[in-house]
Structure 1
Amino acid sequence: MAKPIRAVMFDLDGTLLDTAPDFVVVVNQLLSEQARPALAAEIIRAGVSNGSKALIKLAFSLDESHEQFEPLRQRLLELYLAHIAVHTVLFPGIDKLLGKLADHNIAWGIATNKPATYTLPLMAALNIQPAPLSVICPDHVARSKPDPESLFLAGTQLGCLPEEIIYIGDHKRDIDCGKGAGSITIAAAYGYVDAGDDPANWNADYCVNHADEIWPIIERHL
């Protein structure tokens, strides 16, 4: 028999937070510095979950071996750190969901592939309440997602088993991480899904198109 859920873990970019508006600004700022035309917001938005390397490839069509690739990536990260929480907000429905979790004494946290250098200042700036009880970045594990180590660590920090965790993410790597840990998984189809990708193919236990759909799923597992 399935164990009752004791915690909910979220991926960060594209699941808990809509960080894309700030990335749109800094990617286009970098393009402007390089005398390149701006990219449409929706093109940048779709690539945010794949990290800074993917954004440089998207914006400049450069391979990682190109001599300008890493300098451009470092400049992008510098610009982002200076603009980290200007336009970023919780996705619609997340604030209400966090309140529901608090009302039912369900812990919540974050398991992200975003380095702590950016995750921690972002979370400090937003000061989300109730605050997460676990924030796991690649810096805290030997193997980042899709490896399940992040959720094993979350279970240790939150005092629960991985199978007592629901993990929500907007990329197949998140679902693979959750599945590998034995957690219940929810695909956030409202997030930054790559063009041509389909969350229905990620083998998640559930798939939602809006954060308002998450609480009824959690209720089934209380």
Structure 2
Amino acid sequence: MPMTIPDAAERDSTPLSPADFDAILFDLDGTLIDTAPDLLFALNRVMAEENKPPLSLAELLPFVSGGSPAMLQRGFRVGPDEPGFAALKERFLAIYRANVARSSRLFPGMETVLGHIEAGPLRWGIVTNKSAWLTEPLTAALGLDRRAACIVSGDTTEHLKPHPASLLLACQRIGVEPARCLYVGDAAKDVEAGQRAGMKTAAALFGYLTPEDKPEEWGADWLLSSPGALADWLATKTPR
């Protein structure tokens, strides 16, 4: 399960102000959308086909941020360079693509966050390492493609996070300066990418962290305990 940082409540009282930003960018899986149930569904389908016992959601969560290689390695104990991995990955992703929005939803409180942003002067977008052929049907099914100012997928540029290219492209598409953006993500690579792009960063403690993660050491400007804390920040400080 996602770990809890003892001083998270104190860090929610961030000195950052919405007035300092023109846009807020979000990672997708584990930050904006809780996609783990559908990833678990797809993985367990493949495991059943291979006569392996299913995993629980708690068993899968620490591996979601690592993408399909990490999840398949957890389920099948097989690495990307081992025989059979490519076939397992193809089957897993095909099942996931067909069920990409079966149970995936915005994290509780995120609709309020987006509502506050859309009611004020800020804009918002998505920057994810997820490939476009998976990102696009998911965001379309949840109606986010019509609301986001930009959506940058993992294969939109030549580089994945922690390289800053996708974040910088998002700024270009929205028409804002990186220094006027806040990037919210649940992995060290998200914070690093934001920092390298020249943005302020928030570590989403409610996301898919592993027991080994130490987000207090990532250097984020804000340790964000919940979407509700972000909504409160926007509601009380965003100029109208």
Q: TM-score normalised to the size of structure 1?
A: 0.94
| Distance verdict in 2 for CA 1:11–1:30, change over 3 Å | same
Q: Which amino acid aligns with 2:123?
A: A
Choose the corresponding residue for 1:69, options 47, 63, 85: 85
CA–CA distance in 2 between the matches of 1:121 and 1:44? 23
CA–CA distance in 1 between the matches of 2:69 and 2:156? 21
Match of residue 143 from structure 2: 127
Number of residues of Structure 1 aligned to a counterpart in Structure 2: 221
Mapping for residues 153-168 of structure 1, pairs under 5 Å: 153-168=169-184
RMSD after superposition = 1.7
Match of residue 9 from structure 2: none
Gaps in structure 1 of 5+ consecutive residues: none
Choose the corresponding residue for 2:117, options 93, 101, 109: 101
Q: Contact 1:22–1:85 (CA<8 Å) still a contact in 2?
A: yes
* Structure 1 residue ranges (4+ consecutive) displaced by more than 6 angstroms after TM superposition: none
Q: Which amino acid aligns with 2:23?
A: A
Pairing 1:141–2:195 present? no
Mapping for residues 11-26 of structure 1, pairs under 5 Å: 11-26=27-42
Match of residue 204 from structure 2: 188
Gaps in structure 2 of 5+ consecutive residues: 1-16
Pairing 1:34–2:55 present? no
Shift of 1:50: 1.2
What does the per-residue CA deviation read over 1:174-212, in whole Å, with 9 as the maximum and x for residues that have no partner? 000000011110000000001221221211000111101
User: Which structure is richer in relative contact order (CA contacts within 8 A, separation 6 or more)?
Assistant: 2
Q: Secondary structure at the match of 2:201?
A: strand
Q: Secondary structure at the match of 1:108?
A: strand
* Identity percentage of aligned residues: 34
CA–CA distance in 2 between the matches of 1:122 and 1:17? 10
Shift of 1:129: 8.1
Shift of 1:4: 2.4
Q: TM-score normalised to the size of structure 2?
A: 0.87
Match of residue 132 from structure 2: 116
Shift of 1:132: 0.4
| Distance verdict in 2 for CA 1:204–1:165, change over 3 Å | same
Q: Secondary structure at the match of 1:147?
A: coil
Pairing 1:207–2:223 present? yes
Q: Contact 1:24–1:41 (CA<8 Å) still a contact in 2?
A: yes
